Amino acid sequence: MLTKDYDISIFSAAIVFYILSVFVPLLMLLSEVFRMLYQFNIGFFEENLNETAASIINTILLTKTPMQMKGFAGALFLFNMIWISSKLMNALNRISDLVYVEVKNRNTLKLRIRSFVMMLFAVFLLFFDVVLMISLNYLIGSFYKETLPPIFIFRFLFTDVIPFLINLFGIAVFVLLLYKYIIPIKITFRKVLFSSFLVTVIWYLLTIILRYYFSINKNNSIIYGTFSSIFAILIWLYFLSYVFILGLVYNYYQYLEHGKKRKA
């Protein structure tokens, strides 16, 4: 039913293409976000990041980027990175216009500017989201260590269940805001809440599968391991995009059903 009028596979492939096309500027942009996070409180993050994340952060800190330039040159480079990265957001807006066929397509220039503002907001949201999740995990972990006895049920609850729910909530908020603002009609958060939650859960499951694949793939040869990992990431991105568009189409059908009920 959902895929009857849309070739979701093409839309998904288009999103993956745009992700790859903006990969370098987006990576540099996110690198600066993590650099700011790390410098915000170095001791705190060293204590609460795992070895892999700490290694990535250290690599970022040792890599000098043009964004570290001060003054007009740094501001111009930052603007350029956000503008290029916002092509991905613009693609999501365009696909949303294609899904909502009964709604008039938005003006190209206005949509491009809107995508830039949305990308800028997404960067700040990511910054806030990561700080909030790490801080909550730290506070909950400290509470468990200092006040509760080392019983399995407490350890499982405070080190596995609650951090999982916090991470799930952070991703769900991001997806919820995406659906709210890329859809070309005025829509309430309540109407996209179910699709956002469902997409978040499926994204999380797909990510767990990817992590499991990496864990069993680490003993392979460098060449085979590298290519198979790249291939796995591309498939993972494709399925993330596919699920996201399914949620978008689901919201559209809900919008049509709501319109029919109002006419009736």
pLDDT digits (tens, 9 = 90+) for 107-148: 888 888 898 888 888 877 877 777 777 777 777 777 777 776
Neighbours of 257 (CB within 10 A): 10
pLDDT value of position 246: 92
- Separation in Å, CA 65 to CA 29, 46, 47, 68, 78: 10, 22, 26, 6, 11
Report the pLDDT averaged over residues 29-49: 57
pLDDT value of position 62: 47
pLDDT value of position 200: 93
Residue 27 sits in which domain range? Answer: 8-263
**Is residue 2 domain-resident?**
no
Q: What is the Cα–Cα distance from 219 to 167, expressed in whole angstroms?
A: 29
**Is residue 209 domain-resident?**
yes
**Is residue 225 domain-resident?**
yes
What percent of the chain is predicted at pLDDT more than 70? 73
Report the pLDDT averaged over residues 42-71: 50
Q: How confident is the model at residue 156 (pLDDT cuts 50, 70, 90)?
A: confident
What is the count of structural domains for the chain? 1
Q: Which range scores top for mean pLDDT: 5-14, 54-63, 208-217, 246-255?
A: 246-255
Give Rg (Cα) of the chain: 21
Report the pLDDT averaged over residues 18-23: 81
Do residues 15 and 95 make contact, with C-beta atoms less than 8 angstroms apart?
Answer: yes
**Is residue 28 domain-resident?**
yes
Among 27-31, 54-58, 72-76, 260-264, the minimum mean pLDDT is found in 54-58
Q: Across all residues in the chain, what is the average pLDDT?
A: 76
Higher pLDDT, 107 or 46: 107
Do residues 95 and 248 make contact, with C-beta atoms less than 8 angstroms apart?
Answer: yes
**Is residue 212 domain-resident?**
yes
**Is residue 3 domain-resident?**
no
Tens-digit pLDDT profile for residues 179-217: 999 988 888 888 999 999 999 999 999 998 988 888 887
Report the pLDDT averaged over residues 27-31: 69
pLDDT value of position 52: 46
Q: Per the structure block, which two tokens stand in for 200?
A: 């978040």
Q: Per the structure block, which two tokens stand in for 70?
A: 């001060």
Neighbours of 28 (CB within 10 A): 19
**DSSP state, 160?**
I
Residue 149, pLDDT above cutoff 80: no
Tens-digit pLDDT profile for residues 231-261: 888 999 999 999 999 999 899 888 888 765 5
**Is residue 36 domain-resident?**
yes
**Is residue 1 domain-resident?**
no
Residue 90, pLDDT above cutoff 60: yes
pLDDT value of position 164: 81
